[in-house]
Amino acid sequence: MTAGDSHGPETEAFVRAFEGMLRDRGATELEFETARPHGAGCWTLGASLRLYVGADGLQDVALLAAPESVCSFARWLFGFPSDLMLDTPALLDALGETVNQLAGSIKETLLLSGRDDVTLDTPRVLSERACAMHVAIYEDSAGTLVRAPQWSGDVLLVAGPVMPAPLLYLDEAMAIFARFGDEPAGLSRAQRSLAEVSEALAERGELPAMQSTVEWCERQMLQLLNADSDAEPDETRRSRIANELLELRDALARLTAPPATNAFTLPQDEEMLELLREFSDEIHPLLTQARQAILHNGADLAHELFRCFHTVKGNAGFFGLDQIQHLAHSTESLLADARAAGGRLSRLQRDAVECSLEFIEEALGRLDDALEDGASAIPYCPEMDDHRQMLDHSRQSGEVLVIGSRGSRGTEAAASDSQDLRLRAEHLERLEGVEEKMGAIIARCAEEAVTPLELAGQLEQLRHALRSTCRSIRRVGLSRLFAKVARMARETAEGLNKLSEVEISGAHLDAPRHVVSALSGPMVHLVRNAVDHGIETPDERRHAGKPNVGRIEIRASRAKSQIIIEVVDDGRGISPERVLEKATRNGLVAPGTQLAEPEILELLMTPGFSTNEEANDISGRGVGMDVVRREVERVGGSLELTSRVGEGSCFRLVMPEDDLELGDRVVAAPADVVVADPEEEAANDDDFALGGSGELTFL
């Protein structure tokens, strides 16, 4: 629902309901005139009513009275004696009751028209100051002046547009701050409206960047209320608040705009389309290099990343890819600040840059899909603009960066990233080479210039080349998975009030797609487990003679036909005595049983077993190492555990290097790929196995 959307009752509906109510009371010769609230007179008293429309739409209707009309209107409408003195509370009650009756009439009209998605709030009375604020909020809305011989003067009916809740509250705050921001009452009312914005955003689950802006504006208003003499001049602060509110309003308006907008329309010219393909091929490696740089976290990290985003910005700008260009520019500006400060990035800054990389990678993915499918446009991504605005806001205000969850692109979804196969230029060249050789063989066969033995040899070479290329295509890098898992480790440590650093090595290696996919869940669990169970609190580490900051290493290496991944921490280690005691209490081993240390550690792989006495958000629910082992073994891998009390633990995942192996068995193929009858699955040529005969069998 957008600002100004009119899916609720129109102004005419309120006017008709009000007219019907007045005629029922005996009003004659009614006159109605359209007028702007701020130009129609001075309104001293009134009452307002809020309507809740649909899921989160709000609409306000108010009845305001001028000084010369309020007493006359109330006496006529409610039959008060002419000699009865009407004080302000009595007049407010009369107007409130009028709006209440108007609400009943509106509700009946809506039900008759089939509208059952509108509910009505309790009417609120408006003092003179509240009337002025209401007029300020709706000064651009059209009101209706109502007059009749039965009373003197005019009353004004004002119906605002239907708006999303956070946008309506924000408009209230902006209007009141602009008109009454130099008064304590105005500042307090603007603050209350901002608090309602924050609550509405929380209900909608919007990005934390907006919440951060709202909270910053609230704090600034509080400083104005408290007359903070140590802060910047009031006028400077007011100007900054107004600018932040205006930017937030733009962001909210975009967020609530119809989602069917496009970010980029593809050109029709084939030459330009080819240039776009080249642009995508050039940018993907740059983003990969940027991820590698973040993982290594060198002293000149800001300089390396700055060059990457500068190139992305320039190239995207050439094609008019505005969302990519603008986000790259904002990230580049953040990196420029870091360069000026020495080149190091804080953890939050690294997370912000990683988030920018993810958004740009996703945008490139949408571009690649559009180029491949022949689509005319790529869709607009509002979250991408929200992240950019968060970066800009943090730089301008000096506030701490707030990095929100990427939703479906979060760490738990890392496996899905590897499901999309991307052909690199080298893959295409190799496939084209196979095609050329195949053409040459066909030509020689046509000329009968090749013997059957020579033909068999040449086809075997082609088969090996094709198999090698297919294997290469079906491999993905470990860097993206490692980067996301490292970020999760830092976030988990922060949530547990622990200090930890993550060291990564071997992220440049790649592995079969299904192996990387299967690793996502186990890696997440192992790293969170290392932070929760392994790394001690800073006080515990000091008492143990360790540095305050715990260390977690994520290492990858290649040995023969295996990929070895290790998650190592320098924490408290695993106590065999404690594990055995807990296993005995749980009935897993008989009392008095003597077990060797490897056998005791093996108990940790038992379903439902946990050494935590109480469950928390991280662990302790008995869902853990057995699932990790099962997922690893599902793709032909194994899990090994070693630990030394007081020194730390090492979880070693030994994963298959090759998708398939010649012989009488399939090695490291996912369980759901291996089938009993190849003929039944002949239609699916995505996966293949080499049977004992060495023939290529499609599954």
Q: What is the pLDDT of residues 76-113, one digit of tens each?
A: 888 887 777 777 777 878 888 887 777 777 777 666 66
Average pLDDT, the chain: 76
Which pLDDT score is estimated for 169?
87
Which pLDDT score is estimated for 697?
29
Which pLDDT score is estimated for 497?
83
Which pLDDT score is estimated for 37?
64
Which pLDDT score is estimated for 680?
34
Whether 405 has a pLDDT exceeding 60, the answer reads no
Q: Which residues contact 389 (CB under 8 A, 6 or more apart)?
A: 209, 247, 251
Whether 564 has a pLDDT exceeding 90, the answer reads yes
Residues 375 and 369 sit within 8 Å (Cβ to Cβ):
yes
Q: In this structure, which amino acid lies at residue 260?
A: A
Whether 406 has a pLDDT exceeding 50, the answer reads no
Which pLDDT score is estimated for 681?
34
Q: Which residue has the higher pLDDT, 689 or 510?
A: 510
Residue 226 φ then ψ, to 5°: -85, 0
DSSP string computed for 523-552? HHHHHHHIIIIISPPHHHHHHTT--SSEEE
Which pLDDT score is estimated for 552?
92
Distance, in Å, from the CA atom of 98 to the CA atom of 155, rounded to the nearest integer, reads 12
Distance, in Å, from the CA atom of 305 to the CA atom of 550, rounded to the nearest integer, reads 27
**pLDDT band per the 50, 70, 90 thresholds, residue 557:** very high
Which pLDDT score is estimated for 48?
86
For the stretch 285-321, pLDDT in tens is 888 888 888 877 777 888 889 888 988 888 887 788 8
Query: Which range, of 118-122, 445-449, 585-589, averages the lowest pLDDT?
Result: 445-449
pLDDT average, residue stretch 456-471: 73
Query: Which range, of 33-37, 61-65, 241-245, averages the lowest pLDDT?
Result: 33-37
Could you give the percent of the chain with pLDDT greater than 90?
7
Which pLDDT score is estimated for 10?
61
Residue 249's closest CA among 312, 320, 169, 307?
169
pLDDT average, residue stretch 521-539: 87
**Residue 560, both tokens:** 């023969």
Whether 565 has a pLDDT exceeding 90, the answer reads yes
pLDDT average, residue stretch 571-583: 89
Cβ-based neighbour number of residue 77 at 10 Å? 21
Which pLDDT score is estimated for 430?
63
Residues 97 and 10 sit within 8 Å (Cβ to Cβ):
no
pLDDT average, residue stretch 109-127: 72
Residues 561 and 655 sit within 8 Å (Cβ to Cβ):
no
Whether 363 has a pLDDT exceeding 50, the answer reads yes
Distance, in Å, from the CA atom of 365 to the CA atom of 392, rounded to the nearest integer, reads 25
pLDDT average, residue stretch 194-215: 75
Whether 172 has a pLDDT exceeding 80, the answer reads yes
**pLDDT band per the 50, 70, 90 thresholds, residue 23:** confident
Whether 567 has a pLDDT exceeding 90, the answer reads yes
Cβ-based neighbour number of residue 87 at 10 Å? 7
pTM for the structure as a whole: 0.41
Question: First and final CA of the chain: distance in angstroms?
Answer: 48
Residue 520, CA distances (Å) to 22, 54, 413, 421 in order: 68, 40, 8, 17
